[in-house]
Amino acid sequence: MTRVGLFIPCYVDQFYPQVGIATLQLLEKLGCEVFFPMQQTCCGQPMANSGYEHLGAGCNENFVKDFASFDYIVCPSGSCTLHVKDHLHSARDEHAASQIRSRIYELSEFLTDVLKVEQLEARFPYRVGLHQSCHGQRGLMMSQMTELVAAPFSKPVQLLKLVEGLELVALNRKDECCGFGGTFCVTEEAVSVKMGKDRVADHEQQGVAYIAGADMSCLMHMEGILRRKGSAVKVIHIAEILNSVIDEPAN
């Protein structure tokens, strides 16, 4: 059995527990032995992207202690995964840190690349737009990017296609940033909000019921904009869709 350490990012833990639950249940359904280290907190990205990477040692050492023993570390967030992959270091045990860097996977890439999932018992009969988050897409290369001349592929799309009843729409700008950007969303409020509004509008024009994504942070930003304007469009993490067996996803 594959021993998986489950990394639930801090903001998912605090604001979107249903995403953690769906991730856990999904991995177990697919035959993994999942462990959730109770002492985990945050990968340190909020500090690092703001220029304070040097303050991240505490988070790093924590992370190494929590996750050093697993075959794989799986996280339902491309952004946090990328941060660990690129920036996790340890003064105490750099060997363990380097092992973690090479063993951490974002959930959907873990499903496609490691578990090689080819069928799912999931049903989600809605019109869905997929938001391809930048860090997952361009950082972890979870899908072909519009800037590059390369063969098309998308790991999240590959998985969503296994879901019964799901109707995936084509967006006008398939991999444009939503404008969340960590602390950017507050330090550059005007541009961040405008980017979010534009991103949401692209989905709305396609008549989606849900905006799905592999990063709850982007979805949190777009959710804030959708709710402020009173839109009926909802956001949903891909784990919730892939784990859904009933018509309505858990709220």
Partner 1 sequence: MNQRIKDHPDLAEKFNADEARVNWHDETLWWIRQKRDKAAWLLPEWEQLRETASLIKHNVLSNLSEYLLQFEQKARENGIVVHWAADGDEHNRIVHSILKQHGITQIVKSKSMLTEECHLNHYLADNGVDVVDTDLGERIVQLAKEPPSHIVLPCIHWKKEEIGELFHEHLGTPKGNADPQFLTHAARLSLRKNFLERKVALTGVNFAVAETGEFVVCTNEGNADMGAHLSDVHIACMGIEKLIPQRKHLGVFLRLLTRSATGQPITTYSSHFAKPRKGQEMHIVLVDNGRSAHLGKESFRNALKCIRCGACMNTCPVYRRSGGHSYHNAVAGPIGSILAPNFDMRANADLPFASTLCGSCSNVCPVKIDIHNQLYQWRQVLVKEGFTPRAKTAAMKAMAVTLANPGMYKIAGKMGRIAMRAVPGLVNNKFNPWYNQREMPVPPKESFKEWYQKNRKS
CA distance to 108, 111, 130, 237, per residue, from 125 (Å): 20, 21, 15, 15
CB of 52 to partner 1, least distance (A): 5
Q: Looking at 187, 205, 247, 250, which residue binds partner 1 (CB under 8 A)? A: 187
129/156 Cα distance (integer angstroms): 12
Nearer to partner 1, 157 or 193 (CB): 193
Give the interface segment with partner 1, choosing from 52-60, 99-107, 120-128, 241-249 (CB under 8 A).
Answer: 52-60
Considering the complex, state which of residue 123 and residue 197 has its C-beta at the smaller distance from partner 1: 197
d(CA 249, CA 7): 22
* 155 part of the interface to partner 1, by CB under 8 A: no
Quick one: 36 or 162, whose CB is closer to partner 1?
36
By CB under 8 A, residue 205 contacts partner 1: no
| Contact flag: residue 15 with partner 1 (CB under 8 A) | yes
Taking a C-beta distance cutoff of 8 angstroms, is the pair 225, 193 a contact?
yes
Extended strands (E) in the chain: 3-6, 33-35, 72-75, 104-106, 127-131, 167-168, 210-213, 234-237
Among 30, 36, 127, 249, binds partner 1 (CB under 8 A): 36
Of the two residues 46 and 114, which places its CB atom closer to partner 1 in the complex?
A: 46
Closest CA to 5 of 78, 96, 73, 99: 73
Least Å distance, CB 88 to partner 1, is: 14
Q: Which is nearer to partner 1, 48 or 128 (CB)?
A: 48
Q: Does position 237 bind partner 1 by CB under 8 A?
A: no
Q: Which window, 102-110, 122-130, 137-145, 152-160, contacts partner 1 (CB under 8 A)?
A: 137-145
Closest CA to 177 of 205, 127, 136, 223: 136
Under 8 Å CB-to-CB from 26, ≥6 apart: which residues? 107, 239, 242, 243
Does 193 engage in binding with partner 1 (CB under 8 A)? Answer: yes
Q: Which is nearer to partner 1, 35 or 167 (CB)?
A: 35
How far apart, in whole angstroms, are the C-alpha atoms of residue 171 and residue 37? 38
- Please tell me whether residue 62 binds partner 1 under the rule CB under 8 A: yes
| Residue 181 contacts partner 1 per CB under 8 A | yes
Q: Is 188 in the site for partner 1 (CB under 8 A)?
A: yes
Nearer to partner 1, 84 or 163 (CB): 84
Contact between 204 and partner 1 (CB under 8 A)? no
- What count of residues does the chain have? 251
| 132 Cβ contact list (under 8 Å, min separation 6) | 142, 143, 154, 156, 174, 175, 213
Range 67-126, binding partner 1 (CB under 8 A): none
- Sign of the CA dihedral 32, 36, 37, 40? positive
